Structure 1
Amino acid sequence: MRRLLNIISTLFGITVIAAAGIAYYLYASFTGPGPSTEDKTLVIPKGSGVAEIAGILRSENVIEDTRIFLLGVRLLSEGKPLMAGEYVFPKGVSASGAMGIMIAGKSITHRLTIPEGLTVREVLELVSSEPLLDGPLPPQRPAEGALLPETYQFLRGESRASMIARMRDAMTEALAEEWEKRDRSILVKTPEEAVALASVVEKETSQADERARIAGVFYNRLKKGMPLQSDPTVIFAITLGQRKLNRGVTYDDLKTDSPYNTYLVKGLPPGPIANPGRAALRAVLQPMSHKELYFVADGTGGHAFAATLEEHNKNVANWRKVQKAQQTQ
């Protein structure tokens, strides 16, 4: 009996040692460096099970053994799911590390920049052509001026409809914030009017330091009952934002019969002609105070401003000289 007990005790000890050795080997294999020799960017599709994920990682040489990965996830993930997404798995990442990346959902973030002053059509074209977004555009076309231009971060596979909804929400939020900070003496009386005027300012200049000044010019003209006489509104009257004009504005264009033609119709256009950015909204709601009534391009990308028609005519003559010199060159 004593000999039997000794044998059983010895076998038990060997079993425990062997089990401990196996457990240590499995844990070391799960937490030790993986076989990859470079960073790997992989997409884990939606709906992938753990076995499918293990297969992807193994085929891309991120992990060495799918069985160890599956066992490690079962025992050490604490029941947390491995989330689908686009991930960077660093060079030599362990199976445990790969699991942690997917549990944390640390997907790669992409960016889509919407420049200021684009029409809704142009914004929709940008969103539609972004290959990392998914799904169709929303069935209902947003109103002109309803989308906020800025840089949006997104994950691969986000829907295009969701991206457009985010742009609409961002404009609503930005407009509400800027409206609260507005100069109470300005002539625009509603947020909608502010967006309409901001869209004209946005199309008139790309210079950040000119926006509030141009807004001031338009307010001065409105106070005197003068038409805004903005070329971008004439372009919108012709195209309705559905196409590019691809040429300069002619004298005949200035006669276009449209409520958007601010050469013929006094006051603001009936709605936005593009999507203004936050800076243009702020310029219209907090305009520069001055007595200027005119501005014209100066040949440097900016504008020359004038308080009188005589000054303006001189600026126009200078601009025509610049144009002539450019054409000659």
Structure 2
Amino acid sequence: MWRHIASNAVTFLVVALFMLGGVILWGQNQYTAEGPLDQAICLQVKPGSNMRRVSSDLADQGAVSSATIFRIGADYEDKTQALKAGSFLVQPGSSMSEIVDTITRGGASTCGTEVVYRIGVNRVSVQVRELDPATSRFVERAEFQPGEDETPAIYAEKKQQADTRYRIALAEGVTSWQVVESLKAMDVLEGDAGDVPPEGALAPDSYEVRPGDDRAAVIARMREAQERLVAEAWEARDPDLPIKSPEDLLTLASIVEKETGVAEERGQVASVFVNRLNQGMRLQTDPTVIYGITKGQGVLGRGLRRSELRAETPWNTYVIAGLPPTPIANPGRASLMAAAQPDETDYIFFVADGTGGHAFAVTLAEHNENVARWRQIEAERGAEAAGNASTGGN
């Protein structure tokens, strides 16, 4: 009888172990299998939260089939204590394993609210936007100009949330003075910005920052990025360029940056200035004259006077030969590469064509025709504006 009981016990134990193994295998498959989520969500993990709350939230939003398996899997992978606070984008079909990896890996939030400080040539603005998980596109919630517009309540509200991300978007063509003054006004940064960096030394780009970041450290990041870009462009330059140093390349690129906002034109504009340098002609470019007046401290806000075109300043390329002594703005990667590898053309002249771009010419006669055409366009626009003003715009 004892032998029979022992045999039954062994059989029961084998069956139990077999069933337990099956349950474990099933749980493992559930943990790594494609999840039930059919539309992306933004999962918010608040500071002080734990895996139990997160698993319950995921189950409520239909992202996991079992909150229990999710917690067991996270514990088995020894990731329960690695939970990070933030807002994380969970893609459709994400497995429990993938979600656990997303919320424990660390790094910046991948969705939620983002505050973008845009430093432009003509204005500085702050944009509050949120990522729509369904479309993976940002939706603007508010935008304002600090110091001019009333600060919207949502800005203060989002600044209190620990998972709000911050970004500085530096536009091509801004001056170093504009950057420093803008950083001084950003209330999420701390510390002294220091002296204004040399013109052209800052890379136009998008920089993620955190509340409390040091202003001087942010500027140092911008300088390091520009040093890399200039070195890359200098290394890739055409060997027969009439420039002698990376500093000359940076100066030429800054002029190209200020002369055109049309990406496809950069190479042509650069070719005009290279051709002029090769022929010993003066560059005669208005942005250098403007820089001689403003020194990069703000926007001129009006047209140039004839007396200013004749005035002798180190930057007035109607008066001086060759390149000015410094850049006149901070050029981006595209303008640096255009200066390093300009288009091969015979162009010597260019003038606005009324579309936002320019009409290029090889001879002075062709250029004069283009100028006359542009003057006509200006006159027609002036007459149209005057007509609209006299009729109240109707």
Which structure has the greater CA radius of gyration? Answer: 1
The letter for the 2-side match of 1:76 is: E
Provide the rounded CA distance (Å) in 2 between the counterparts of 1:314 and 1:206. 23
**For residues 237-275 of structure 1, what are the alpha-carbon distances to aligned partners after superposition, in whole Å with 9 as ceiling and x for unaligned?**
222222222222222432555322223333322211112
The alpha-carbon deviation at position 326 of structure 1 amounts to 1.5
The alpha-carbon deviation at position 97 of structure 1 amounts to 4.4
Structure with more relative contact order (C-alpha pairs < 8 Å, separation 6 or more): 1
Contact 1:58 1:64 in 2 (8 A): no
The CA RMSD over aligned residues, in Å, is 4.8
Contact 1:211 1:280 in 2 (8 A): yes
Provide the rounded CA distance (Å) in 1 between the counterparts of 2:22 and 2:239. 77
Contact 2:248 2:323 in 1 (8 A): yes
Is 1:174 aligned to 2:176, yes or no? Answer: no
Q: Which region of structure 1 is more displaced relative to structure 2, 178-187 or 197-206?
A: 178-187
| Structure 2 partner of 1:98 | 99
Larger relative strand fraction: 2
Contact 1:198 1:276 in 2 (8 A): yes
The letter for the 1-side match of 2:173 is: G
3-state DSSP of counterpart to 1:88: strand
Within a 5 Å distance, the mapping from 1:148-163 to structure 2 comes to 148-150=203-205, 152=206
Q: Percent identity?
A: 37
The 1:40–1:164 alpha-carbon spacing in structure 2 relative to 1, beyond 3 Å, is farther
The alpha-carbon deviation at position 229 of structure 1 amounts to 1.9
Provide the rounded CA distance (Å) in 2 between the counterparts of 1:275 and 1:285. 16
The letter for the 1-side match of 2:193 is: P
5+ residue gaps, structure 2: 112-137, 139-166, 385-394
Q: How many residues align?
A: 322
Q: Which region of structure 1 is more displaced relative to structure 2, 248-257 or 179-188?
A: 248-257
Is 1:307 aligned to 2:367, yes or no? Answer: no
Contact 2:183 2:193 in 1 (8 A): no
**For residues 1-52 of structure 1, what are the alpha-carbon distances to aligned partners after superposition, in whole Å with 9 as ceiling and x for unaligned?**
959x77x959x9699799889979987996799898864313446xx56x53
Out of 104, 107, 110, the residue aligned to residue 108 of structure 1 is 110
| Structure 1 partner of 2:330 | 275
3-state DSSP of counterpart to 2:89: strand
Q: TM (normalized to structure 2)?
A: 0.61
| Structure 2 partner of 1:146 | 201
Out of 247, 259, 283, the residue aligned to residue 192 of structure 1 is 247
Provide the rounded CA distance (Å) in 2 between the counterparts of 1:313 and 1:37. 62
Out of 292, 303, 321, the residue aligned to residue 248 of structure 1 is 303
The letter for the 1-side match of 2:50 is: E
| Structure 1 partner of 2:88 | 87
The 1:283–1:90 alpha-carbon spacing in structure 2 relative to 1, beyond 3 Å, is closer
Q: Which region of structure 1 is more displaced relative to structure 2, 15-24 or 294-303?
A: 15-24
Provide the rounded CA distance (Å) in 2 between the counterparts of 1:320 and 1:178. 37
Provide the rounded CA distance (Å) in 1 between the counterparts of 2:80 and 2:57. 25
Provide the rounded CA distance (Å) in 2 between the counterparts of 1:30 and 1:129. 48
The letter for the 2-side match of 1:249 is: L
Contact 2:270 2:342 in 1 (8 A): yes
The 1:57–1:139 alpha-carbon spacing in structure 2 relative to 1, beyond 3 Å, is farther
Within a 5 Å distance, the mapping from 1:1-329 to structure 2 comes to 39-44=40-45, 52-56=50-54, 58=56, 61=60, 70-77=71-78, 81-90=82-91, 95-104=96-105, 108=110, 114-121=170-177, 135-136=189-190, 139-140=193-194, 141-150=196-205, 152=206, 165-223=220-278, 225-256=280-311, 258-288=313-343, 292-300=347-355, 301-308=357-364, 310-329=365-384
The alpha-carbon deviation at position 198 of structure 1 amounts to 1.1
The 1:287–1:63 alpha-carbon spacing in structure 2 relative to 1, beyond 3 Å, is closer
Q: TM (normalized to structure 1)?
A: 0.71
The 1:40–1:284 alpha-carbon spacing in structure 2 relative to 1, beyond 3 Å, is closer
